[in-house]
């Protein structure tokens, strides 16, 4: 009985997390594909140096050593990286200068993420006046718990998230109970419906 129920649930359920694309195309454009490509470039470069530029080998090795030294100094003085990341990148760049430098540039540039972050910051600045912080609520929180109030002020300054009162939250120990309550609430909706999820693993609803 239990097996039939689970099978029926899986056949009718809605997947919350779509499976990633499979195949060669996905592998090529994945991070693994990029790492393989950069390693191949490093190997081809080393092969080319020893094959066709043997007479210039001392100069090339000297230039590589100088480049590695510059990258090491940059990493040591970088404030954007934590100590653990610095050690990791130092090892990678000293062992494989070309591969390490290209991979470091790729991971730090992240153009798409920066564009999204900039746009979100602009939208936050444009809309923060729409959701002001109630002084009465903030004062009540400060009297009740000064530590939490200080944290709330920091969150409001950094992300424009004000504190509200007379709010309630319901905890559901299992998803089935939440599902029935959600359907009931959706039937009562009058103006809009807002659902937010943080998917950490594949699941069915």
Burial of 100 (0-12, 13-18, 19+ CB in 10 A): buried
Burial of 137 (0-12, 13-18, 19+ CB in 10 A): middle
> Does 151 score more than 80 pLDDT?
yes
* pLDDT given for residue 139 in this prediction: 92
Taking residues 12-27, report their average pLDDT: 51
- DSSP annotation of 76 reads H
Report the C-alpha gap between 109 and 136 in whole angstroms. 43
> Does 150 score more than 50 pLDDT?
yes
pLDDT level of residue 3 (50, 70, 90 thresholds): very low
Please state, rounded to an integer, the average pLDDT across all residues of the chain: 76
Report the C-alpha gap between 39 and 103 in whole angstroms. 10
Summarised one tens digit per residue, pLDDT across range 159-180 is 778 898 888 888 888 888 888 8
Question: What are all long-range contacts of 172-180, with beta carbons under 8 Å and residues at least 24 apart?
Answer: 175/203, 175/205, 179/205
């Amino acid at each position: 009985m239990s097996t039939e129920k689970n099978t029926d649930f899986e056949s009718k359920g809605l997947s919350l997390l779509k499976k990633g694309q499979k195949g060669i195309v996905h592998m090529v454009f994945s991070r693994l594909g990029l790492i393989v490509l950069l390693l191949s470039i490093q190997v081809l470069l080393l092969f080319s140096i020893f094959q066709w530029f043997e007479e210039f080998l001392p100069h090339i090795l000297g230039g590589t050593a100088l480049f590695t030294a510059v990258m090491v100094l940059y990493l040591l003085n970088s404030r954007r990286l934590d100590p653990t990341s610095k050690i990791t990148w130092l090892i990678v760049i000293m062992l494989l200068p070309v591969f390490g430098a290209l991979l470091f540039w790729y991971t730090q540039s992240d153009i798409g993420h920066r564009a999204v972050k900039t746009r979100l910051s602009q939208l936050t600045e444009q809309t923060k006046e729409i959701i002001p912080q109630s002084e009465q609520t903030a004062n009540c929180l400060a009297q009740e718990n000064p530590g939490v109030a200080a944290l709330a002020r920091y969150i409001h300054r950094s992300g424009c998230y004000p504190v509200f009162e007379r709010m309630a939250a319901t905890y559901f120990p299992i998803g089935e109970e939440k599902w029935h309550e959600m359907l009931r609430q959706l039937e009562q909706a009058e103006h809009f419906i807002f659902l937010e999820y943080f998917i950490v693993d594949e699941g069915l609803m």
